[in-house]
Amino acid sequence: MTLQDKVQRSRLYDTAGLDLAPKSLTQVKKTENSSEGLNVFLSLAEPEDLVPRAQGDLTGVMVAVKDNICTEKLPTTCGSLVLKGYQSPYEATAIRKLREAGAVIIGKTNLDEFGMGSSTENSAFGPTLNPIDQSFVPGGSSGGSAAAVAAGYTRMALGSDTGGSVRQPAAFCGVVGIKPTYGRVSRYGLVAFASSLDQIGTIGATVLDASLLLEVISGHDIRDTTSVERLVPSYRDAATQSIEGMVVGIPSEYFPDELDPSIRAILDEACERLVDAGARVQPISLPHTEFAIPCYYILATAEASSNLARYDGVRFGTRMPSDGLDQMYELTRHHFGSEVQRRIILGTYVLSAGYYDAYYAKAQKARARISQDFKTAFQEVDIIFTPTSPTPAFALGERISDPLAMYLSDVFTVPANLAGIPGISVPIGMVGGLPLGGQFLGPWWGESELIAAAGALEASYGDNT
């Protein structure tokens, strides 16, 4: 079987009744415009734009792109009325690399506004539905991209991961999601939410799909000062490598007593499968994990309040008619949704005089401690295995009025962003008819080890995850 055959092959989710054979643009349009539409895409390419510009590893493969990654021919709205209809004058480096590999962009996917959310319910253009069960959320903020792959609209999709926004929706939709090491993939053309945390990540129907896509978009970029000049290994080869002798750490902080017994049983089985594949499992501790959520929501909101200051009606996006500059600012920024406004206010508060040291400076110290926890752990183990999320997907509307409950759905994913380490989520079973994801975390630049472990675990299940 050739690599191209592997990329295009179908993976069946018998439990959910989903056939992940890639669909044509006509099929996608027909489904999305029907009563069964999932509200996955905010814009779709024209048929004439689905012609590869080059020959490469992804020739003719359709890729969905989260609508906070700039493209030339399709709008980049970030799921916000502030950027409704905005057309970027340039393309992101990741998009350029996709086109050079022969991929075609099928469309731009729905997201929580500016990437701020965990359910894709915060989009100004309505929520995306989970293809497994449409009464549940697909996760967020890359819910549109995860749903596109889970529904079989496309084999691969790009998302962005600031605090778990690729891995958590991948887990909720039963697909694979990878967050690379910070600096592995260029952020040029990714609309900024929290610049020290944001990374473009990949979603695929299989580990191979997500890994090949990551390999294509990785590499140094002079347009991004946080991009690191470092050799990109063959991630596609890593997907089938042996994990014989690999030491897998199991952090006690990610397996609390209140974890649902049915979820714990699936995680325990996954650990047994890793051992059967040749790995050794070892308990570890990441003692500062409890500070991850408050630390993240201080730092992320602080950076968001600065990054989103540019949407003032002067340079680009929506400009509201007004009688003066102050009124124009106010009316224009009133187009932000409630969650974005909440985070801007929180971020402005923690950066304000008198509160900077009490909140922002302490959060930076906590971030350093969390990062040190991982450094210490990786002196003992090769990779770490955890749940991706404390629960499977939750029902539409269940947490939209409870921000704290929504934020806690990312409790197992945000530490990787704070430390800048890579992570991958892979399906490991079903709970109540909904997918459950297992997460591997690795040392800086350790994507190959994560992919090998995820590939081995995926192979142990066959087509029954």
pLDDT digits (tens, 9 = 90+) for 183-195: 999 999 999 999 9
* Banded model confidence at residue 20, pLDDT cuts 50, 70, 90: low
Q: Give me the residue spans of the domains in the chain.
A: 3-249+379-461
Kindly give the pairing relationship between strand 12-13 and strand 18-19: antiparallel
Tell me what pLDDT residue 327 has. 84
Tell me what pLDDT residue 148 has. 97
Task: Answer whether residue 434 shows pLDDT above 80.
Answer: yes
305 is catalytic: no
Distances (CA, A) of 66 to 108, 148, 298, 382: 5, 10, 25, 31
Task: Give the mean model confidence (pLDDT) for residues 78-91.
Answer: 95
Task: Answer whether residue 318 shows pLDDT above 90.
Answer: no
Task: Answer whether residue 168 shows pLDDT above 60.
Answer: yes
Q: Which residues pair with 356 in a beta bridge?
A: none
Tell me what pLDDT residue 22 has. 79
pLDDT digits (tens, 9 = 90+) for 31-65: 999 888 999 999 999 999 999 999 999 999 999 99
Distances (CA, A) of 70 to 99, 191, 196, 339, 389: 13, 7, 19, 23, 29
Cα 66 from Cα 447, distance rounded (Å): 22
Tell me what pLDDT residue 11 has. 37
Task: Answer whether residue 14 shows pLDDT above 50.
Answer: no
Tell me what pLDDT residue 12 has. 31
Whole-prediction pTM? 0.94
Of 153-157, 220-224, 316-320, 413-417, which gets the smallest average pLDDT?
316-320
Task: Answer whether residue 315 shows pLDDT above 90.
Answer: no
Active-site annotation holder among 80, 118, 141, 186: 141
For residue 245, which phi and psi values (nearest 5 degrees)?
A: 85, -5
Task: Give the mean model confidence (pLDDT) for residues 237-246.
Answer: 98
pLDDT digits (tens, 9 = 90+) for 212-229: 999 999 999 999 999 999
Residue 189 · residue 90 · CB < 8 Å: yes
Q: Which CATH number fits domain 3-249+379-461: 3.40.630.30, 3.40.50.300, 3.40.190.10, 3.90.1300.10?
A: 3.90.1300.10
Residue 39 · residue 28 · CB < 8 Å: no
66 is catalytic: yes
Tell me what pLDDT residue 352 has. 94
Task: Give the mean model confidence (pLDDT) for residues 244-251.
Answer: 98
Tell me what pLDDT residue 18 has. 53
Residue 230 burial by CB count (10 A; 0-12/13-18/19+): exposed, middle or buried? middle
Q: What is the DSSP string of 208-259?
A: HHHHHHHHHHBS--TT-TT--------HHHHTT---TT-EEEEEGGGS-TTS
Task: Answer whether residue 1 shows pLDDT above 80.
Answer: no
Active-site annotation holder among 118, 145, 160, 165: 165
Q: Minimal CA–CA distance to 459: which of 274, 192, 223?
A: 274
Task: Answer whether residue 147 shows pLDDT above 90.
Answer: yes
Q: pLDDT above 70 covers what percent of the chain? A: 95
Active-site annotation holder among 23, 66, 97, 108: 66
Q: Residue 256 contacts by C-beta under 8 Å, 6 or more apart in sequence?
A: none
Average pLDDT, rounded, for the chain: 93
Q: How many CB atoms lie within 10 A of CB 294?
A: 14
Tell me what pLDDT residue 464 has. 57
Tell me what pLDDT residue 312 has. 87
